Structure 1
Amino acid sequence: MASTKLKGNPVALLGADINVGDKAPVVTLVAKDLSEIKVGGASEKTQIIVIVPSLDTAVCAQETRTFNTKAAAISDATVIVASMDLPFAMGRFCTTEGIENLQVGSDFRDKALASAYGVLIADGPLKGLSARAIFVVSKEGKVIYKEICPEITEEPNYEGALCALKEAAAPSGGHTCGCGAR
Protein backbone atom coordinates (compact mmCIF):
# COMPACT_ATOMS: atom_id res chain seq x y z
CA MET A 1 0.00 0.00 0.00
CA ALA A 2 1.39 3.39 -1.01
CA SER A 3 1.63 6.22 1.48
CA THR A 4 2.38 9.91 1.84
CA LYS A 5 2.51 12.32 4.76
CA LEU A 6 0.32 15.13 6.04
CA LYS A 7 2.30 17.58 8.18
CA GLY A 8 4.81 14.82 8.86
CA ASN A 9 2.24 12.19 9.84
CA PRO A 10 1.99 9.03 7.71
CA VAL A 11 -1.14 8.70 5.56
CA ALA A 12 -2.09 5.45 3.80
CA LEU A 13 -3.35 5.54 0.21
CA LEU A 14 -5.89 3.20 -1.35
CA GLY A 15 -6.30 2.05 -4.92
CA ALA A 16 -4.31 0.52 -7.73
CA ASP A 17 -0.52 0.74 -7.77
CA ILE A 18 0.10 2.47 -11.11
CA ASN A 19 3.73 2.90 -12.14
CA VAL A 20 5.79 4.25 -15.02
CA GLY A 21 5.34 1.92 -17.98
CA ASP A 22 1.84 0.82 -16.97
CA LYS A 23 -1.23 1.46 -19.07
CA ALA A 24 -3.01 4.54 -17.69
CA PRO A 25 -6.56 3.69 -16.61
CA VAL A 26 -9.34 5.61 -18.35
CA VAL A 27 -11.69 7.33 -15.91
CA THR A 28 -14.45 9.90 -16.16
CA LEU A 29 -14.38 13.20 -14.28
CA VAL A 30 -17.03 15.92 -14.09
CA ALA A 31 -16.11 19.26 -15.67
CA LYS A 32 -17.05 22.62 -14.16
CA ASP A 33 -20.02 22.78 -16.60
CA LEU A 34 -21.13 19.26 -15.48
CA SER A 35 -20.06 17.65 -18.77
CA GLU A 36 -17.85 14.57 -18.60
CA ILE A 37 -14.09 14.52 -19.18
CA LYS A 38 -12.26 11.29 -19.98
CA VAL A 39 -8.68 11.13 -18.69
CA GLY A 40 -6.06 8.43 -19.04
CA GLY A 41 -5.67 5.97 -21.88
CA ALA A 42 -4.63 6.79 -25.43
CA SER A 43 -5.27 10.35 -26.58
CA GLU A 44 -4.41 12.78 -29.38
CA LYS A 45 -2.14 14.65 -26.96
CA THR A 46 0.07 13.73 -24.05
CA GLN A 47 -1.85 14.24 -20.79
CA ILE A 48 -0.57 15.83 -17.61
CA ILE A 49 -2.96 14.71 -14.88
CA VAL A 50 -2.48 16.91 -11.83
CA ILE A 51 -4.27 15.55 -8.76
CA VAL A 52 -4.84 17.77 -5.72
CA PRO A 53 -6.83 17.38 -2.48
CA SER A 54 -8.88 20.59 -2.92
CA LEU A 55 -8.59 23.84 -4.87
CA ASP A 56 -9.71 25.53 -1.65
CA THR A 57 -6.25 25.22 -0.07
CA ALA A 58 -3.31 27.56 -0.60
CA VAL A 59 -0.92 24.91 -1.96
CA CYS A 60 -3.47 23.40 -4.37
CA ALA A 61 -4.47 26.86 -5.58
CA GLN A 62 -0.83 27.81 -6.17
CA GLU A 63 -0.14 24.51 -7.96
CA THR A 64 -3.13 25.08 -10.25
CA ARG A 65 -2.07 28.66 -11.00
CA THR A 66 1.47 27.46 -11.77
CA PHE A 67 0.26 24.74 -14.15
CA ASN A 68 -2.13 27.23 -15.77
CA THR A 69 0.83 29.49 -16.55
CA LYS A 70 3.00 26.62 -17.78
CA ALA A 71 0.14 25.13 -19.83
CA ALA A 72 -0.08 28.34 -21.87
CA ALA A 73 3.27 27.40 -23.45
CA ILE A 74 2.38 23.75 -24.08
CA SER A 75 0.66 22.98 -27.36
CA ASP A 76 1.23 19.24 -27.53
CA ALA A 77 -0.34 18.27 -24.20
CA THR A 78 -3.54 18.57 -22.26
CA VAL A 79 -3.29 19.58 -18.60
CA ILE A 80 -6.09 18.38 -16.34
CA VAL A 81 -6.31 19.34 -12.66
CA ALA A 82 -8.49 16.93 -10.69
CA SER A 83 -9.82 17.11 -7.14
CA MET A 84 -12.85 16.06 -5.11
CA ASP A 85 -14.21 19.63 -5.16
CA LEU A 86 -17.70 20.11 -6.55
CA PRO A 87 -17.72 21.26 -10.19
CA PHE A 88 -19.39 24.53 -9.17
CA ALA A 89 -16.56 25.34 -6.76
CA MET A 90 -14.02 24.48 -9.45
CA GLY A 91 -15.76 26.80 -11.89
CA ARG A 92 -15.81 29.61 -9.36
CA PHE A 93 -12.10 29.09 -8.64
CA CYS A 94 -11.23 29.17 -12.35
CA THR A 95 -13.23 32.36 -12.89
CA THR A 96 -11.78 34.11 -9.84
CA GLU A 97 -8.20 33.04 -10.60
CA GLY A 98 -8.33 33.46 -14.40
CA ILE A 99 -7.61 29.78 -15.06
CA GLU A 100 -8.04 29.34 -18.83
CA ASN A 101 -5.17 27.16 -20.09
CA LEU A 102 -6.09 23.86 -18.47
CA GLN A 103 -9.11 21.72 -17.71
CA VAL A 104 -10.45 21.01 -14.25
CA GLY A 105 -12.32 17.84 -13.39
CA SER A 106 -14.07 16.67 -10.26
CA ASP A 107 -13.73 13.12 -8.96
CA PHE A 108 -16.53 13.68 -6.42
CA ARG A 109 -19.06 11.20 -7.84
CA ASP A 110 -17.27 7.91 -7.37
CA LYS A 111 -13.61 8.67 -6.63
CA ALA A 112 -12.72 6.71 -9.79
CA LEU A 113 -9.54 8.64 -10.55
CA ALA A 114 -8.22 8.50 -6.99
CA SER A 115 -8.91 4.75 -6.80
CA ALA A 116 -7.61 3.88 -10.27
CA TYR A 117 -4.38 5.83 -9.75
CA GLY A 118 -3.79 4.78 -6.13
CA VAL A 119 -4.04 8.21 -4.49
CA LEU A 120 -7.23 7.92 -2.40
CA ILE A 121 -6.43 8.97 1.16
CA ALA A 122 -7.42 6.09 3.46
CA ASP A 123 -7.14 7.70 6.88
CA GLY A 124 -6.53 10.87 8.82
CA PRO A 125 -8.24 14.26 8.55
CA LEU A 126 -8.27 14.22 4.72
CA LYS A 127 -9.74 10.70 4.45
CA GLY A 128 -11.70 10.38 1.20
CA LEU A 129 -9.79 13.10 -0.66
CA SER A 130 -6.95 12.63 -3.13
CA ALA A 131 -3.28 12.90 -2.29
CA ARG A 132 -1.19 15.39 -4.26
CA ALA A 133 0.16 13.63 -7.35
CA ILE A 134 1.08 14.07 -11.00
CA PHE A 135 0.87 11.48 -13.77
CA VAL A 136 2.07 12.16 -17.30
CA VAL A 137 0.42 9.87 -19.85
CA SER A 138 1.81 9.41 -23.37
CA LYS A 139 -0.35 9.63 -26.49
CA GLU A 140 -0.26 5.83 -26.53
CA GLY A 141 -1.80 5.70 -23.05
CA LYS A 142 1.26 4.69 -21.02
CA VAL A 143 2.28 6.32 -17.76
CA ILE A 144 5.63 8.00 -18.44
CA TYR A 145 5.96 9.98 -15.20
CA LYS A 146 4.56 9.49 -11.72
CA GLU A 147 4.94 11.59 -8.63
CA ILE A 148 3.01 11.11 -5.43
CA CYS A 149 4.22 14.01 -3.34
CA PRO A 150 5.88 12.73 -0.18
CA GLU A 151 4.25 15.55 1.81
CA ILE A 152 0.69 16.61 0.90
CA THR A 153 1.27 20.18 2.11
CA GLU A 154 4.16 20.77 -0.34
CA GLU A 155 4.14 21.60 -4.05
CA PRO A 156 5.15 18.94 -6.57
CA ASN A 157 8.21 18.75 -8.81
CA TYR A 158 6.90 20.86 -11.70
CA GLU A 159 10.09 20.48 -13.72
CA GLY A 160 10.00 16.69 -13.43
CA ALA A 161 6.54 16.56 -15.01
CA LEU A 162 7.47 19.07 -17.73
CA CYS A 163 10.70 17.18 -18.44
CA ALA A 164 8.66 13.99 -18.92
CA LEU A 165 6.50 15.89 -21.38
CA LYS A 166 9.61 16.92 -23.35
CA GLU A 167 10.84 13.34 -23.20
CA ALA A 168 7.54 12.13 -24.68
CA ALA A 169 7.81 14.62 -27.55
CA ALA A 170 11.44 13.81 -28.39
CA PRO A 171 12.42 11.19 -30.95
CA SER A 172 13.55 7.91 -29.34
CA GLY A 173 16.60 8.55 -27.22
CA GLY A 174 16.61 12.23 -28.17
CA HIS A 175 15.85 13.88 -24.85
CA THR A 176 17.31 12.73 -21.58
CA CYS A 177 16.63 14.99 -18.65
CA GLY A 178 16.77 12.24 -16.07
CA CYS A 179 13.07 12.42 -15.22
CA GLY A 180 12.61 8.73 -15.86
CA ALA A 181 10.05 9.15 -18.64
CA ARG A 182 9.83 6.22 -21.03
Structure 2
Amino acid sequence: MSQITHKGKSITTYGHLPEKGEKAPHFELLRSDLSVATLQDFKGKRVIMNIFPSIDTFVCATSVKNFSERASELNNVVVLNISRDLPFAQERFKKDNEIANCENLSDFRERNFGKDYGLEMIDGAWEGLLSRVVIVLDENGKILHTEQVKDIDKEPDYLEALKPLL
Protein backbone atom coordinates (compact mmCIF):
# COMPACT_ATOMS: atom_id res chain seq x y z
CA MET A 1 0.00 0.00 0.00
CA SER A 2 1.10 3.53 -0.73
CA GLN A 3 0.13 6.83 0.88
CA ILE A 4 -0.77 9.98 -1.02
CA THR A 5 -2.65 13.11 0.07
CA HIS A 6 -5.63 15.18 -1.01
CA LYS A 7 -6.09 18.61 0.60
CA GLY A 8 -3.69 17.55 3.34
CA LYS A 9 -5.56 14.35 4.22
CA SER A 10 -3.92 10.95 3.83
CA ILE A 11 -5.24 8.50 1.21
CA THR A 12 -4.21 4.87 0.86
CA THR A 13 -3.81 3.25 -2.54
CA TYR A 14 -4.41 -0.41 -3.28
CA GLY A 15 -0.79 -1.49 -3.59
CA HIS A 16 2.48 -0.45 -5.17
CA LEU A 17 3.20 0.57 -8.73
CA PRO A 18 5.00 -1.91 -10.95
CA GLU A 19 8.72 -1.16 -10.91
CA LYS A 20 11.07 0.25 -13.50
CA GLY A 21 12.50 -2.55 -15.63
CA GLU A 22 9.47 -4.84 -15.19
CA LYS A 23 7.06 -5.72 -17.96
CA ALA A 24 3.84 -3.74 -17.58
CA PRO A 25 0.87 -5.86 -16.43
CA HIS A 26 -1.76 -6.80 -19.01
CA PHE A 27 -4.82 -4.55 -19.11
CA GLU A 28 -8.21 -4.40 -20.77
CA LEU A 29 -9.70 -0.91 -20.91
CA LEU A 30 -12.55 0.62 -22.91
CA ARG A 31 -12.08 2.97 -25.83
CA SER A 32 -14.56 5.73 -26.61
CA ASP A 33 -16.47 3.36 -28.98
CA LEU A 34 -16.68 0.80 -26.12
CA SER A 35 -14.29 -1.60 -27.83
CA VAL A 36 -11.58 -3.15 -25.67
CA ALA A 37 -7.98 -1.95 -25.79
CA THR A 38 -5.19 -4.12 -24.39
CA LEU A 39 -1.53 -3.48 -23.70
CA GLN A 40 -0.74 -5.71 -26.69
CA ASP A 41 -2.49 -3.20 -29.00
CA PHE A 42 0.33 -0.73 -28.37
CA LYS A 43 3.27 -3.11 -28.88
CA GLY A 44 5.88 -1.43 -31.06
CA LYS A 45 5.01 2.04 -29.73
CA ARG A 46 6.48 3.89 -26.80
CA VAL A 47 3.68 4.61 -24.34
CA ILE A 48 2.97 7.35 -21.81
CA MET A 49 0.23 6.17 -19.46
CA ASN A 50 -1.28 9.35 -17.99
CA ILE A 51 -3.53 8.03 -15.21
CA PHE A 52 -5.80 10.24 -13.12
CA PRO A 53 -9.05 10.41 -11.10
CA SER A 54 -11.35 12.33 -13.48
CA ILE A 55 -11.08 14.25 -16.73
CA ASP A 56 -13.49 16.83 -15.29
CA THR A 57 -11.02 18.22 -12.77
CA PHE A 58 -8.57 21.01 -13.51
CA VAL A 59 -5.30 19.17 -12.78
CA CYS A 60 -6.38 16.05 -14.67
CA ALA A 61 -7.44 18.11 -17.69
CA THR A 62 -4.15 20.01 -17.57
CA SER A 63 -2.13 16.78 -17.61
CA VAL A 64 -4.07 15.52 -20.66
CA LYS A 65 -3.37 18.76 -22.53
CA ASN A 66 0.30 18.88 -21.51
CA PHE A 67 1.12 15.28 -22.39
CA SER A 68 -0.75 15.55 -25.69
CA GLU A 69 1.17 18.65 -26.69
CA ARG A 70 4.58 17.40 -25.55
CA ALA A 71 4.19 13.92 -27.08
CA SER A 72 3.39 15.43 -30.48
CA GLU A 73 7.07 16.36 -30.73
CA LEU A 74 8.28 12.77 -30.09
CA ASN A 75 8.59 9.88 -32.51
CA ASN A 76 6.60 6.66 -32.11
CA VAL A 77 4.90 7.74 -28.87
CA VAL A 78 1.26 7.32 -27.89
CA VAL A 79 -0.32 8.90 -24.81
CA LEU A 80 -2.96 6.82 -23.05
CA ASN A 81 -5.17 8.92 -20.77
CA ILE A 82 -6.66 6.46 -18.29
CA SER A 83 -9.39 7.12 -15.73
CA ARG A 84 -12.67 5.67 -14.53
CA ASP A 85 -14.65 8.34 -16.36
CA LEU A 86 -17.24 7.09 -18.81
CA PRO A 87 -15.76 6.82 -22.31
CA PHE A 88 -18.34 9.36 -23.53
CA ALA A 89 -17.09 12.01 -21.09
CA GLN A 90 -13.50 11.31 -22.10
CA GLU A 91 -14.35 11.68 -25.80
CA ARG A 92 -16.35 14.88 -25.18
CA PHE A 93 -13.36 16.41 -23.41
CA LYS A 94 -11.03 15.39 -26.23
CA LYS A 95 -13.27 16.98 -28.88
CA ASP A 96 -14.09 20.10 -26.87
CA ASN A 97 -10.40 20.77 -26.27
CA GLU A 98 -9.14 19.67 -29.69
CA ILE A 99 -6.81 17.12 -28.12
CA ALA A 100 -4.78 14.99 -30.52
CA ASN A 101 -1.91 12.52 -30.23
CA CYS A 102 -3.58 10.49 -27.50
CA GLU A 103 -6.12 7.83 -26.76
CA ASN A 104 -8.55 7.95 -23.86
CA LEU A 105 -9.20 4.66 -22.06
CA SER A 106 -11.65 3.90 -19.28
CA ASP A 107 -11.47 1.44 -16.38
CA PHE A 108 -15.09 2.01 -15.36
CA ARG A 109 -16.44 -1.41 -16.37
CA GLU A 110 -14.01 -4.08 -15.14
CA ARG A 111 -12.20 -1.93 -12.56
CA ASN A 112 -9.16 -4.23 -12.61
CA PHE A 113 -6.58 -1.76 -13.91
CA GLY A 114 -6.34 0.22 -10.67
CA LYS A 115 -5.78 -2.94 -8.64
CA ASP A 116 -3.41 -4.61 -11.11
CA TYR A 117 -1.26 -1.48 -11.26
CA GLY A 118 -1.52 -0.76 -7.50
CA LEU A 119 -2.91 2.75 -7.86
CA GLU A 120 -6.61 2.66 -6.96
CA MET A 121 -7.50 4.87 -4.00
CA ILE A 122 -9.13 2.69 -1.33
CA ASP A 123 -10.16 5.38 1.16
CA GLY A 124 -10.65 9.12 1.37
CA ALA A 125 -12.97 11.41 -0.57
CA TRP A 126 -11.96 9.90 -3.94
CA GLU A 127 -12.22 6.25 -2.86
CA GLY A 128 -12.61 3.95 -5.86
CA LEU A 129 -10.94 6.30 -8.35
CA LEU A 130 -7.46 6.02 -9.82
CA SER A 131 -4.64 8.03 -8.26
CA ARG A 132 -2.50 10.39 -10.33
CA VAL A 133 0.24 8.26 -11.89
CA VAL A 134 2.50 8.37 -14.93
CA ILE A 135 4.00 5.18 -16.31
CA VAL A 136 6.25 5.25 -19.38
CA LEU A 137 6.83 2.09 -21.44
CA ASP A 138 9.24 1.15 -24.20
CA GLU A 139 8.15 -0.51 -27.46
CA ASN A 140 7.98 -3.91 -25.76
CA GLY A 141 5.96 -2.86 -22.72
CA LYS A 142 8.93 -2.62 -20.36
CA ILE A 143 8.57 0.09 -17.74
CA LEU A 144 11.02 2.97 -18.16
CA HIS A 145 9.56 5.42 -15.62
CA THR A 146 6.89 5.58 -12.90
CA GLU A 147 5.60 8.40 -10.76
CA GLN A 148 2.73 8.33 -8.32
CA VAL A 149 2.10 11.98 -7.53
CA LYS A 150 2.18 12.23 -3.74
CA ASP A 151 -0.35 15.08 -3.58
CA ILE A 152 -3.32 14.35 -5.86
CA ASP A 153 -3.85 18.11 -6.28
CA LYS A 154 -0.46 18.51 -8.02
CA GLU A 155 0.59 17.84 -11.61
CA PRO A 156 3.05 15.10 -12.51
CA ASP A 157 6.66 15.89 -13.38
CA TYR A 158 6.33 16.09 -17.17
CA LEU A 159 10.05 16.53 -17.84
CA GLU A 160 11.05 13.45 -15.81
CA ALA A 161 8.35 11.38 -17.52
CA LEU A 162 9.55 12.40 -20.97
CA LYS A 163 13.29 11.96 -20.34
CA PRO A 164 13.37 8.22 -21.21
CA LEU A 165 11.71 9.02 -24.54
CA LEU A 166 14.11 11.75 -25.70
Q: 1:34 to 1:133 in 2, by over 3 A?
A: same
The corresponding residue for 1:134 is 134
Post-superposition offset of 1:16:
5.1
Q: How does 1:32-43 map to 2 (within 5 A)?
A: 32-39=32-39, 43=43
The corresponding residue for 1:151 is 151
Q: Are the aligned partners of 1:4 and 1:151 in contact in 2 as well (CA < 8 Å)?
A: yes
Post-superposition offset of 1:41:
9.1
- Spell out, residue by residue over 1:62-111, the C-alpha distance to the aligned partner (whole angstroms, 9 max, x if none): 11011111121122211101000000111111110111210000010122
- Spell out, residue by residue over 1:38-64, the C-alpha distance to the aligned partner (whole angstroms, 9 max, x if none): 137971011111101000001101110
The corresponding residue for 2:118 is 118
Q: Give the match's secondary structure for 2:164.
A: helix
- Spell out, residue by residue over 1:124-175, the C-alpha distance to the aligned partner (whole angstroms, 9 max, x if none): 1100000000001112221110000010010000001100222xxxxxxxxx
Scaled by the length of structure 2, the TM-score of the pair is 0.94
Q: 1:103 to 1:109 in 2, by over 3 A?
A: same
Aligned length: 166
Paired-residue identity, %:
34
Runs of 4+ in 1 over 4 A off after TM superposition: none
Name stretches of at least 5 consecutive residues in structure 1 with no aligned partner: 167-182
What is the alpha-carbon root mean square deviation over aligned residues? 1.6
Question: What is the identity, as a one-letter code, of the residue corresponding to 1:115?
Answer: K
Distance 1:11 1:39 in 2: 28
Q: Answer with 1 or 2: which has the greater Rg.
A: 1
Deviates more, 1:6-15 or 1:156-165: 6-15
Scaled by the length of structure 1, the TM-score of the pair is 0.86
Name stretches of at least 5 consecutive residues in structure 2 with no aligned partner: none
Q: Are the aligned partners of 1:51 and 1:132 in contact in 2 as well (CA < 8 Å)?
A: yes
Deviates more, 1:114-123 or 1:30-39: 30-39
Post-superposition offset of 1:123:
0.1
Q: Are the aligned partners of 1:6 and 1:153 in contact in 2 as well (CA < 8 Å)?
A: yes
Post-superposition offset of 1:17:
4.0
Q: Give the match's secondary structure for 1:70.
A: helix
Distance 1:33 1:100 in 2: 17
The corresponding residue for 2:14 is 14
